[in-house]
Amino acid sequence: MKFNILTLFPKYFETFKTQSIIAKAIALGHIEINIIDFRKFSREKHHKVDDTVYGGGDGMLLQVEPIDLALQTVPNSYKILVSPQGRVFNQKIAHELAKHDEITLICGHYEGFDERILNFVDEEMSIGDYILTGGELPAMIITEAIARLKPGVLKKGSHQNESFENEGLLDYPQYTKPADYKGYKVPEVLLSGDHKKILEWRKQEAYKKTLKNRKDIIERINNEN
């Protein structure tokens, strides 16, 4: 799978591409990450990519032309404008996007985008209801969430019991040695060796944790049913 990332700050991605799961996935050929500096597509003096807002207003907007020209170099990709105004990204959407062979993520900066850029993309996408300086961090988050679903990136089945995967619930509590730490003990059922009881306990605990921390997920599941 190929990821194209349009950005004004290519160096942001140097560490991202050379560490942990992403680095291994690239080395094994499971994914490719192509960083595109769309400033290079500016036709203006000094490679300017932003300008003042028509109608007045604070800040500078990214111009449509440099981004359009950069997108023309990746014509066969699914194009996503990273924006706080977009569809909120989640694990279900990660699975949906993982079906594509090539995805392009456009990182914003400054005050925002010229609205006409929406004519050249497939959708806008947000990682949550808050504002960041630019779209680089959201692009990394979206890329990693999708990449780890591709075959070979993780050990087979590794992600299937994680939060949001098992019926949409949060992950169940997990423990490792020692079995007793300062009086805080590992639940007896996990030491029993009875896999049927362990499985049932994990299902119950996943539901309880989700109910405690994310009631909205329980409500959504109930509405869907």
pLDDT tens digits along 46-92: 899 999 999 988 889 999 999 999 999 999 999 999 999 999 999 99
CB atoms within 10 A of CB 48: 13
Per-residue pLDDT, 16: 97
Query: Which residues on neighbouring strands pair with residue 80, listed in sequence order?
Result: 105, 123
Distance of CA 131 to the CA centre of its chain: 16
At 22 the pLDDT is 97
Q: Where exactly are the structural domains of the chain?
A: 2-148, 180-224
Annotated binding-site ranges for S-adenosyl-L-methionine: 108, 127-132
- How high is the pLDDT of residue 45? 84
Question: Which pLDDT score, from 0 to 100, does residue 109 have?
Answer: 84
- pTM of the predicted model, to two decimals? 0.86
The CATH class that applies to domain 2-148 reads alpha beta
Q: Of 177, 169, 179, nearest to 204 (Cα)?
A: 169
Alpha-carbon distance of 5 to 63, in angstroms, equals: 17
Beta carbons of 7 and 38 less than 8 angstroms apart: yes
State the sign of the Cα–Cα–Cα–Cα dihedral 32, 38, 39, 40: positive
Give the model's pLDDT for residue 170.
Answer: 93
pLDDT tens digits, residue range 8-54? 999 999 999 999 999 999 999 999 999 999 999 999 888 999 999 99
Question: Would you state the pLDDT for residue 164?
Answer: 56
The string of pLDDT tens digits covering residues 192-220 is 999 999 999 999 999 999 999 999 999 98
Average pLDDT value over all residues in the chain? 93
Residue 103 near residue 77, CB atoms below 8 Å = yes
Give me 1's structure tokens.
Answer: 């799978």
Mean pLDDT of 99-110: 94
Q: Detail the residues annotated as belonging to a binding site.
A: 108, 127-132
